[in-house]
């Protein structure tokens, strides 16, 4: 006997063997058991989710020799012939190959005649959306009022292309994509019955590659059996699918955490050389980042599909939540940009460079030997902030607004006047920088050497970025004692505040003041100027100064009088 592929061999023979689609099965089972039968059923959904399988099972239920029920016997001649696709009263039509109106009329000529051997004459029209407009028009009357012995079972992957007149004449059932966990469970049962050993991790790769289709999953399983020879192992499935192993993805994330651009690019180069599908590499990176975000929000979360959970939990402790979201968004954008890149490898490399470029400057984490290790090495020395003196010579022509710096308020933006240095590239570069930069005495027992704290003056030089800088920009200094600084955060801007921001502000203040300091922060109504409010005030003052300068310029006034023009003040920008 010739080999029968798994997708055909394991096609469900009854509703009990169907995987998923319980919302559809329940309606059909109740209708069959209560003898409430419609004359036309429409099954919609993507490929391989069970549309034709359900239609054939329904045909068995209607023509089983033991009577109409939701549990066909599977043994009578009608059930056997339907299973073998040779039942004379089950007319299966592929609408993609019979689109002409003449084909539809020929099909309907025999509708009036009683079934030959069965209880009902059943017309199963697959990919019904491929019929022409004239074919639908020819079908409408019969579809609405067929003889009592006729049932129509329609299936399509594109219900939007069906006329509303057809949809209104059918009971419509929308089949869902099958989840990876359900696919893995079914594959384990099938392979157990087939006597084929399989690693669960390999089955998860197959389930994700199937993208919701059980038929695709079984076909890929057939391919994996042929590829592996004796069993299905993860390495073989990855090679077959061109996917990257999760260890390499975890190593890439370690490189990002450690800001090791060289190692990250080497990993991308190695993946490309090994024939890895680089789009799949991005998908695996997104899966890992999703797992990290899940563990950050729900540390005790348990999910079968989250491979390498221990490593992901360690990364969840090392990365800030906003950095994880940043990485995820950049990877999504890179996936979108793949078709436009000169070659896929360049798109992946640029995505990695973007992740490192937009990662807030700060301490790199040493993860070379221990992924769970904490921050290592000295803090990065802030660079000297640029001058913020406003220019009094604005331009009369419209210009592109200057992009905001990393310090933006939670609802708006702070035009930051301080900058931080780029991440240190190597240990030797760090040592050279430490020798050239002025050092600050770090071992202080208290802040007694600091006479006062001018928060508005200190803020621009703080080595802060991202949301922590936004929070600090909206804080008001309420008290300053020997070892403690207390801030009030504007309650309007505290929705995205996290306790981790306090630790970041505390570390930045310690580096700036050169002494241990404890930061306390509470929300409330600020009564004095915050760094953000100061920046906004200075911005307004610069804008007004620019407008005044333009409006008082004699040359411009002469031009306005000569040509009868007027100045569009909204186009005036100060030269910052």
pLDDT in tens, 261-317: 999 999 999 888 888 888 888 988 998 999 899 989 888 877 666 666 778 888 888
Mean of per-residue pLDDT scores for the chain: 80
Asked if pLDDT for residue 2 goes beyond 80, the answer is no
pLDDT confidence of residue 125: 92
CB-based burial label for 438 (10 Å; 0-12, 13-18, 19+): exposed
**Percent residues over pLDDT 90 in the chain:** 33
pLDDT confidence of residue 353: 92
Q: Which has more pLDDT, 331 or 412?
A: 331
- Strand bridging mode 121-126 / 231-232: unpaired
Local confidence band at 188 (pLDDT 50, 70, 90 cut-offs)? very high
Tell me 486's DSSP state.
E
Local confidence band at 64 (pLDDT 50, 70, 90 cut-offs)? very high
Local confidence band at 423 (pLDDT 50, 70, 90 cut-offs)? very low
Is the distance from CB of 472 to CB of 459 less than 8 angstroms?
yes
Per-residue tokens: 198: 């399989």
User: How many Å from the N-terminal Cα to the C-terminal Cα in the chain?
Assistant: 83
pLDDT confidence of residue 408: 43
pTM of the predicted protein model: 0.57
> What does the alpha-carbon distance between residue 289 and residue 326 come to, in Å, rounded to a whole number?
10
SS3 of 434-481: HHHCCCCCCCCCCCCCCCCCCHHHHHHHCCCCHHHHHHHHCEEEEEEC
Q: What is the pLDDT averaged over residues 341-348?
A: 89
Please report where in the chains the tokens 């010579």 appear, as a residue: 393
> What does the alpha-carbon distance between residue 297 and residue 294 come to, in Å, rounded to a whole number?
5
Please report where in the chains the tokens 């729900």 appear, as a residue: 298
Q: What is the pLDDT averaged over residues 243-260?
A: 86
> What does the alpha-carbon distance between residue 1 and residue 337 come to, in Å, rounded to a whole number?
49
Q: Which of 230, 232, 174, 226 is nearest to 207 (CA)?
A: 232
> What does the alpha-carbon distance between residue 213 and residue 221 come to, in Å, rounded to a whole number?
12
pLDDT tens digits, residue range 436-495?
A: 443 333 333 344 444 467 899 989 989 888 888 888 999 999 888 777 889 998 877 777
pLDDT tens digits, residue range 367-403?
A: 444 443 333 333 333 333 343 434 343 333 333 333 3
Q: What is the pLDDT averaged over residues 323-330?
A: 92
Q: What is the pLDDT averaged over residues 520-527?
A: 87
Q: Which CATH superfamily is domain 6-174 in?
A: P-loop containing nucleotide triphosphate hydrolases (3.40.50.300)
Domain limits, the chain: 6-174, 180-241, 246-358, 446-528, 533-571
Q: Which has more pLDDT, 168 or 434?
A: 168
Asked if pLDDT for residue 323 goes beyond 50, the answer is yes
Tell me 375's DSSP state.
B
pLDDT tens digits, residue range 130-153?
A: 888 888 888 888 888 899 999 999
Burial annotation 238-255 (CB, 10 A radius, 16+ → b, else e):
bbbbbbbbbebbbbbbbb
Q: Which has more pLDDT, 15 or 239?
A: 15
pLDDT confidence of residue 306: 61
> What does the alpha-carbon distance between residue 484 and residue 471 come to, in Å, rounded to a whole number?
18
180-241: CATH topology is Helicase, Ruva Protein; domain 3 (1.10.8)
CATH of domain 246-358: 1.20.272.10
- Measured CA distances, 242 to 50, 274, 338, 468 (Å): 27, 9, 17, 40
> What does the alpha-carbon distance between residue 553 and residue 559 come to, in Å, rounded to a whole number?
10
Asked if pLDDT for residue 20 goes beyond 90, the answer is no
pLDDT confidence of residue 557: 86
The highest-level CATH class for domain 446-528 is: alpha beta
pLDDT confidence of residue 390: 41
pLDDT confidence of residue 452: 67
């Amino acid at each position: 006997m010739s080999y029968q592929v798994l997708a055909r061999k394991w096609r469900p023979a009854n509703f009990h063997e169907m995987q998923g689609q319980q919302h559809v099965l329940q309606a059909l089972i109740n209708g069959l058991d209560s003898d409430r039968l419609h004359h036309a059923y429409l099954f919609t959904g993507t490929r391989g989710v069970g549309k034709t399988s359900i239609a054939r099972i329904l045909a068995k239920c209607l023509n089983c020799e033991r009577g109409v029920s939701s549990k066909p016997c599977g043994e009578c001649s009608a059930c056997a012939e339907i299973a073998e696709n040779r039942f004379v009263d089950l007319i299966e039509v592929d609408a993609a190959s019979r689109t002409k109106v003449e084909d539809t009329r020929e099909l309907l000529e025999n509708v009036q005649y009683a079934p030959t051997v069965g209880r009902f004459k059943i017309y199963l029209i697959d990919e019904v959306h491929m019929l022409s407009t004239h074919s639908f028009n020819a079908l409408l009357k019969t579809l609405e009022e067929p003889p009592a012995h006729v049932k129509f079972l329609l299936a399509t992957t594109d219900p939007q292309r069906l006329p509303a007149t057809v949809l209104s004449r059918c009971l419509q059932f929308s089949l869902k994509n099958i989840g990876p966990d359900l696919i893995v469970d079914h594959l384990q049962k099938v392979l157990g019955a087939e006597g084929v050993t399989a690693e669960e991790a390999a089955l998860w790769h197959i389930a994700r590659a199937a993208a919701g289709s059980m038929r695709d999953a079984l076909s890929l399983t057939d391919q994996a059996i042929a590829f592996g020879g004796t069993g299905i192992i993860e390495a073989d499935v990855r090679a077959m699918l061109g996917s990257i192993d999760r260890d390499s993805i975890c190593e890439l994330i370690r490189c990002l955490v450690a800001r090791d651009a060289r190692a990250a690019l080497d990993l991308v180069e190695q993946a490309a050389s090994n024939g890895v599908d680089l789009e799949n590499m991005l998908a695996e990176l997104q899966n890992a980042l999703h797992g990290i975000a899940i563990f950050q929000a729900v540390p005790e979360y348990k999910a079968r599909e989250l491979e390498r959970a221990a490593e992901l939990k360690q990364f969840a402790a090392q990365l800030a939540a906003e950095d994880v979201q940043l990485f995820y968004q950049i990877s999504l954008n890179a996936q979108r940009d793949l078709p436009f890149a000169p070659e896929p490898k360049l798109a992946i490399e640029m995505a990695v460079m973007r992740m490192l470029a937009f990662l807030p400057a700060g301490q790199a984490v040493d993860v070379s030997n221990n992924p769970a290790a904490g921050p290592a090495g000295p803090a990065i020395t802030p660079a000297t902030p640029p001058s913020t003196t406003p220019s009094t010579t604005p331009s009369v022509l419209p210009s592109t607004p200057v992009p905001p710096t990393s310090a933006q308020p939670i609802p708006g933006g702070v035009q930051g006047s301080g900058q931080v240095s780029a991440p240190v590239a190597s240990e030797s570069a760090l040592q050279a920088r430490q020798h050239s930069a002025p050092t600050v005495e770090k071992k202080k027992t208290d802040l007694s050497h600091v006479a006062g704290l001018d928060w508005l003056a200190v803020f621009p030089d703080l080595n802060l970025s991202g949301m922590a800088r936004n929070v600090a920009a909206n804080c008001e200094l309420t008290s300053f004692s020997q070892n403690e600084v207390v801030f009030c955060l504007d309650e309007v801007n505290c929705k995205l505040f996290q306790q981790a921001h306090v630790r970041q502000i505390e570390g930045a203040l310690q580096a700036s003041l050169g002494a241990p300091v404890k930061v306390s922060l509470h929300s409330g109504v600020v009564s004095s100027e915050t760094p953000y409010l100061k920046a906004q005030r200075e911005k307004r003052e610069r804008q007004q100064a620019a407008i005044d300068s333009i409006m008082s310029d004699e040359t411009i006034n002469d031009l306005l009088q000569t040509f009868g023009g007027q100045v569009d003040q909204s186009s005036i920008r100060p030269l910052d």
